[in-house]
Structure 1
Amino acid sequence: MIALSLALTGACAAYLFWGLGPKWQFVLSLRAGKLAGMLLVGAAVAVATVLFQTVSRNRILTPQIMGFDALYILMQTALVASLGLSGFASLTAPVKFAVEVAIMIAASLALFSTLLGRAGQDVARLILTGVILGVLFRSAAGFLARLLDPNAFAVVQYASFASFARVNTDLLPIAALLTCAAICAALWVAPRLDVLALGRPIAVSLGLAHDRLMLLALSLVAVLVSVATALVGPIAFFGLIVAGLAHEAAGSGRHARLLPMAMLIAGIMLVGGQTLFERALGLQSTLAVVIEFVGGLFFLWLLLRGRIR
């Protein structure tokens, strides 16, 4: 934990102070906002993935399998199709962010509460429903995209890919409030999450309110993933990498240790990777593309290693 904290501090210092130049005050303020956004997104995705894997009791699943990314892309496409380029551009960032987060949280909570209320023991049905909804959202987004002119389609494509370089600092206060509240709640119930990970029969026999805690955990996942996706765009495999590395580094399934380590690893990966791409490589590629590529390889490695449980 100490080593990871020192590594994250070093990565943050390198991102802030490497190559400041003469106008260091302006550059430093600009980098500080982006740094805060990356740390928020990293912490949100890390905690959400660990919680979702605890609920599903599967180390290869991520919250994105529930269709959050597809719903986000559908919203971008629908906004451009209904408002046009001028109307989409005139949307203020706070309003757009609030609408996106509210829709994603409402949709996920409706899904979780309905399915868990009917079959609290059947998490597989919940995940399968999320997969089906994701396919539906992608199909609807693809249909709307075919109705757009090339300029509007280019705008949708730009808004549908994650970018850590375009974090809007005006959104950070509300994003930080939601993220910190959800993370504090996750850390507060960390001991009960350890019991939840044992499975429903054992958890119930130990006196745990299993269904209520599961709904709380999924609600926290919905908030964290919605905020992170609305802030930088969809990230499919980043949480999978972070959660896998956190399990290996922690050497324990206790969430009081696992959650902080996952947040530290996520911060190191995002800040260190963005520093490398911005300062050393001159933005010749994007961090999100590399994360998706490495995450896909990591997913295949987990399958071949047989770490499904």
Structure 2
Amino acid sequence: MLGLAVGLVVMVLVAAGSGQVAVPPFEVMGSVLHHLGIDTGPLPTHPQGENALWAVRFPRVVLAVLVGACLGVAGALLQGVFGNPLAEPAVIGVSSGAAVGACTAIVFGISLLGNLTVAAAAFVGGLGTTLAVYWLARSGGRTEVVTLVLTGIAVNAFAFGVIAFLTFVADPQAREQIIFWQLGSLNGATWSAVSAVAPLALVGLVLAASVAGRLDLLSLGEGPARHLGVHVERLRLVVVFAVALLVGAGVAFTGIVGFVGLVVPHVIRMVAGPAHRSLLAASAVGGALVLVAADLLARTAVENAELPLGMLTSLVGGPFFFWLLRRTRSRQGGWA
């Protein structure tokens, strides 16, 4: 945790100071301290330094921290409740549902909430789709993990069909906006976006912390967990709702950012072990660190251009997923 926290602070200072208006890390720290009322450290010497930091860079970096933490914790929750290291937030349809909501608002020109309309539609779509997957997977008052995963796959396929249809009927401008949203980006980060995501992220993280102990008991098996007093069905419902809240709030303003919820918790588990109290906390900090670093690479790798954030995370996460798949299969002696 100490290493991750130090790494995150350093990465935040570097990311906030990087761009066309370069600000050294010590000046970034000095600007933050002065805004906190601590008159120490150098202020940015560039005439546009303060404006670049507080109007553009800090909203983007803070949003990256929030979204990364949400995705990392969501992945750890799903891997814990499914008992499978291959689980990630897209499994239960929250990302595809958010995409359907955003695409619907874009294609039909809905603007009830002004600039926040697309983000609100994405959040509602992600939450609604996740609850629909959970309801469809229930039978006899219970929800089996395999049924939940297969239902999520079916709903994902249907959602991507809806997205394809909306893309087909959209005008060229809306089609371009849909494609850009699905690629993922923090380009539109503002303080209003941060203020909208932060409360939802806080609720989701508190819910995650509240179920950490019960997830440890569930890892013993569903039967032993019940004998130890865990209401397994209620636990799954809380986890699914928390994941929908975390991922829905995250992707609402950034678009789809894949594989963070898969890669980060698995790496943390390899280093720190499976205990969920430490795993969830470390996954939050690790997810924030990964997304801040990925966003820094996205906007600085190519001069005068910004690479899609979702593309970068997928280029790294895809091969990692394949390696994880092969490793898991070899350890289990084959899927049969």
| TM-score of the aligned structures, taking structure 1 as reference length | 0.90
Q: How far apart, in 1, do the equivalents of 2:302 and 2:173 lie?
A: 29
Q: 1:94 to 1:152 in 2, by over 3 A?
A: closer
Per the alignment, residue 98 of structure 1 pairs with 120
Instruction: Indicate the percent of aligned positions where both proteins have the same amino acid.
Output: 26
Aligned to 2:30: none
Which residue of structure 1 lines up, in the alignment, with residue 97 of structure 2? 71
Q: Output one character per residue of 1:9-31: Cα deviation in whole Å (capped at 9) or x when no partner.
A: 11111112341333111111021
Task: Report the Cα offset of residue 121 of structure 1.
Answer: 4.9
What is aligned with 2:84? 58
Alpha carbons of structure 1 residues 279 and 294: separation in structure 2 relative to 1, 3 Å? closer
Contact 2:75 2:261 in 1 (8 A): yes
Distance 1:175 1:284, change over 3 A: closer
Deviations 1:155-208, CA, capped at 9 Å, x for gaps: 221222210232233121131001011102211221111112222111011121
Q: Does 1:190 align with 2:190?
A: no
Q: Which has the higher contact order (CA 8 A, sep 6+)?
A: 1
After TM superposition, the structure 1 = structure 2 runs for residues 277-296 of structure 1, keeping only pairs within 5 Å, are 277-279=298-300, 281-282=302-303, 283=305, 285-296=307-318
Unaligned ranges ≥5, structure 2: 24-45
**Does 2:325 align with 1:303?**
yes
CA distance in structure 1 between the partners assigned to 2:7 and 2:315 by the alignment: 24
Aligned letter for 1:61? A
1: CA distance between counterparts of 2:178 and 2:296?
Answer: 27
- Structure 1 position 223, deviation (Å): 0.6
Q: C-alpha separation between the residues in 2 aligned to 1:17 and 1:167?
A: 16
What displacement does 1:113 show? 4.2
Larger radius of gyration: 2
2:291 corresponds to which of 251, 265, 270? 270
1:193-237 alpha-carbon deviations (Å, 9 max, x no partner): 111222211101112111111111111011111111112011221
Q: Alignment RMSD, CA only?
A: 2.2
CA shift at 1:53, angstroms? Answer: 1.0
Q: Describe the SS at the equivalent of 1:306.
A: helix
Query: CA–CA distance in 1 between the matches of 2:275 and 2:238?
Result: 18
Question: Which residue of 174, 180, 183 maps to 1:152?
Answer: 174
- Cα 1:12–1:255 shift into 2, 3 Å: same
The 3-state SS of whatever aligns with 2:142 is coil
> Match of 2:48?
23
Counterparts in 2 of 1:284 and 1:167: CA distance versus 1, 3 Å = closer
TM-score (norm 2): 0.83
- Structure 1 unpaired stretches of 5+: none
Q: Figure out how many residues of one structure are paired with residues of the other and give that number.
A: 304
Q: Which amino acid is 1:93 matched to? A: N
Cα deviation for residue 91 of structure 1 reads 5.5
- Aligned amino acid, residue 15 of structure 2: Y
